[in-house]
């Protein structure tokens, strides 16, 4: 899987990329999700692009912000750009949504995106309702890796980490956060080769009852441990409160699907997303019958075939590098 296109919508708003000064008329500040992209702005350094944005757009009315490529020449880490945003947090009282790294695969592979500690975003924007992050562990390049500290945030409703290798530290921190309003949680766990060292034990707080009382969608995706995760989900207390569940994009096999069928009832779900899987056709038919008869929409698209190397089979996730 690659990220071929930039966002068209975000937080229910059309995305508008800030153009060079004078290139076109600007929309109302609260009518779009503003996207900042150093290349689209005439290859400005991010500090100049940020200054241009805050000079030209009434920041007090901005509701959603999307950060695209923040480098104008050679690739640089995110931290200096994020520090500029955080320094001006007080100028954005209406900001309700922020996405870091709307970057395509042609611009930078997901696991090469050099991120940082994103906790200050939640601390600086207490009214934020949606927060998304794309990137990984910096590929051992010596930069500060993606990280998160446990926090309490009373307004956050959507939290997404898209990664080819999500650090276990981030997963544990999510489980330790107090997020009473969170309705949608999506974790792309990735593979160990790219820093995805989370274990099923790290997911226990998320899967427990009471930690996330408002949660209605849970995505534990893109994992090379997808069968083990499915087995844990099959008896997880949090499942009873969900309306949708995604175990997609990973290495799910018949063993994981059998655990789902043999565990607690899942037929209360409106949707079960298992796309990109390694299920046999007979197991896929069993799932369609079990859930389809209950009215649950099941996505079983993207059946994969294991790669063979010598006498071994190799199963792969949808997003790694």
What are the CA-CA distances from residue 287 to residues 263, 272, 294 (Å)?
13, 10, 11
pLDDT category at 281 given cuts 50, 70, 90 is very high
Query: DSSP label at 146?
Result: P
What are the CA-CA distances from residue 56 to residues 34, 160, 178, 195, 209 (Å)?
12, 30, 36, 39, 46
Interval 14-43 mean pLDDT:
92
CB 23 within 8 A of CB 44: no
pLDDT of 22 higher than 80: no
Between 42-56, 244-258, 274-288, the lowest mean confidence (pLDDT) is in 42-56
Which residues are CB-neighbours of 143 under 8 A, at least 6 positions away?
Answer: 77, 79, 114
- 179-220 pLDDT per residue, tens: 999 999 999 999 999 999 999 999 999 999 888 999 999 999
pTM for this predicted structure:
0.96
What are the CA-CA distances from residue 111 to residues 92, 166, 178, 262, 305 (Å)?
30, 9, 28, 35, 24
pLDDT of 1 higher than 50: no
CB 27 within 8 A of CB 16: yes
pLDDT of 61 higher than 70: yes
Residue-averaged pLDDT of the chain:
94
pLDDT of 277 higher than 90: yes
Total residues found in the chain within this entry:
321
């Amino acid at each position: 899987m690659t990220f071929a296109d930039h966002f068209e919508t975000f937080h229910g708003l059309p995305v508008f990329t800030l153009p060079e000064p004078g290139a076109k008329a600007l929309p109302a500040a609260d009518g779009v999700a503003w996207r900042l992209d150093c290349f689209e702005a005439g290859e400005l350094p991010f500090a100049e692009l940020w200054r241009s944005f805050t000079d030209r757009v009434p920041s007090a009315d901005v509701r959603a912000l999307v950060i695209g490529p923040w480098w104008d020449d050679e690739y640089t880490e995110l931290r200096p750009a994020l520090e500029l945003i955080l320094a001006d947090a007080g100028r954005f009282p209406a900001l309700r949504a922020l996405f870091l790294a709307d970057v395509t695969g042609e611009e930078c592979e997901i696991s090469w995106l050099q991120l940082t500690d994103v906790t200050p975003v939640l601390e600086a924007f207490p009214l934020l309702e949606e927060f998304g992050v794309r990137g990984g562990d910096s590929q051992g390049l010596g930069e500060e890796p993606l990280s998160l500290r446990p926090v309490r945030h009373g307004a956050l409703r959507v939290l997404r980490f898209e990664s080819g290798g999500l650090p276990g530290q981030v997963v544990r921190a999510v489980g330790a956060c107090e997020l009473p309003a969170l309705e949608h949680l999506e974790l792309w766990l990735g593979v160990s080769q790219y820093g995805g060292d989370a274990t099923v034990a790290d997911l226990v707080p998320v899967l427990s009852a009471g930690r996330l009382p408002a949660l209605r969608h849970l995505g534990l995706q893109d994992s090379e441990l997808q069968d083990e995760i499915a087995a844990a989900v099959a008896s997880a207390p949090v499942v009873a409160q969900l309306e949708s569940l995604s175990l997609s994009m990973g290495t799910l096999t018949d063993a994981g699907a059998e655990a789902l069928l043999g565990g607690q009832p899942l037929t209360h779900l409106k949707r079960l997303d298992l796309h990109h899987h390694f299920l046999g056709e007979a197991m896929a038919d069993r799932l369609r019958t079990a859930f389809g008869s209950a009215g649950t929409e099941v996505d079983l698209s993207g059946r994969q075939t294991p790669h063979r190397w010598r006498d071994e089979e190799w199963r792969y996730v949808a997003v790694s590098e």
